[in-house]
């Protein structure tokens, strides 16, 4: 499922050579995983060796493995990435099917040049409607606020604060609890249902590892 974004897309691109690719996980070849793993090590490595550790070898995912990937390429290879996974989460006391977006990264030299969180969401938006999940959902760290505020301002999504998200750790360790609770900014995209039907609750259970 390879698609090129034309020059006329406006805000999605600042560089006409950027190409967005939308693909299912089983469409990726070994070379794709190897290239993505190296991209993630370089993208996450500056924030700490632990953050880059999951991507050793050719492993191109951190916790839960995505169903779909949104990958941006330019003349230097992978420029940006986001993953999508349908899953049931628990918002307060309500079980809810969502299309979770995560595993987001942008190569540092293209930050602010069209390869953005907003660009990835815009590109994937038509497909999100076909996944039969009533909401798109992402839990991002407060440090990413500037990356997500733009999609909130244009009405594509709603940004929620004051929410904690509980996830299982990607591995079991003897010296720490098996679950982790983090404060997060929520990005909620009303897809099949209006935002008024998003359940109330200040604690979200993934019942699995983050994407």
SS3 assignment for the chain:
CECCCCHHHHHHCCCCCCEEEEEEHHHCCHHHHHHHHHHHHHHHHHHCHHHHHHHCCCCCCCCCCCCEEEEEEECCEEEEEEEEEEEEEEECCEEEEEEEEEEEEECHHHCCCCCCHHHHHHHHHHHHCCCCCCEEEEEECHHHHHHHHHHHHCCCCEEEEEEEEEEECCCCCCCCCCEEEEEEEEEEEECCCCHHHCCCCCEEECCCCCC
Token pair 């070379």: residue: 31
**Of 17-21, 63-67, 196-200, the least confident:** 17-21
What residue has token string 């490595």? 45
**How far apart are alpha carbons 81 and 116 in whole angstroms?**
9
pTM of the model: 0.85
Q: Which two structure tokens, joined as six digits, stand for 198?
A: 């998003």
At 179-199, the pLDDT tens digits run: 999 998 899 999 999 999 999
The angle subtended at Cα 98 by Cα 96 and Cα 103, nearest 5°, is 135
List the domains of the chain with CATH numbers.
19-205 (3.40.630.30)
91 vs 147: CA distance, rounded Å: 24
Which of 9-18, 138-147, 202-211 has the least mean pLDDT?
Answer: 9-18
- Segment 197-206 shows an average pLDDT of 94
Max CA pair span of the chain: 54
Tell me the percentage of the chain whose pLDDT exceeds 90: 59
156-174: per-residue pLDDT in tens?
788 898 999 999 998 888 9
Confidence at 48, pLDDT banded by 50, 70, 90 = low
């Amino acid at each position: 499922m390879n698609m090129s974004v034309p020059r006329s897309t406006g805000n999605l691109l600042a560089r006409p050579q950027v190409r967005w690719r939308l693909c299912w996980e089983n469409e990726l070849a070994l070379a794709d995983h190897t290239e993505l793993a190296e991209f993630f090590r370089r993208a996450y490595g500056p924030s700490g060796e632990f953050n880059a550790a999951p991507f050793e070898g050719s492993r191109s995912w951190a916790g839960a493995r995505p169903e779909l990937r949104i990958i941006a390429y330019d003349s230097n290879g992978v420029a940006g990435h986001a993953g999508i996974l349908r899953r049931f989460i628990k918002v307060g006391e309500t079980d809810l099917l969502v299309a979770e977006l995560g595993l987001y990264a942008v190569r540092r030299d293209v930050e602010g040049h069209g390869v953005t969180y907003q660009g990835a969401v815009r590109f994937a938006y038509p497909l999100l409607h076909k996944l039969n999940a009533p909401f798109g959902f992402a839990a991002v760290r407060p440090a990413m606020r500037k990356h997500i505020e733009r999609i909130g301002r244009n009405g594509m999504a709603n940004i929620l604060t004051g929410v904690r998200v509980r996830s299982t750790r990607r591995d079991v360790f003897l010296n720490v609890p098996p679950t982790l609770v983090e404060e997060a900014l929520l990005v909620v995209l009303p897809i099949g249902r209006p935002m008024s039907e998003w359940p109330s609750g200040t604690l979200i259970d993934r019942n699995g590892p983050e994407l």
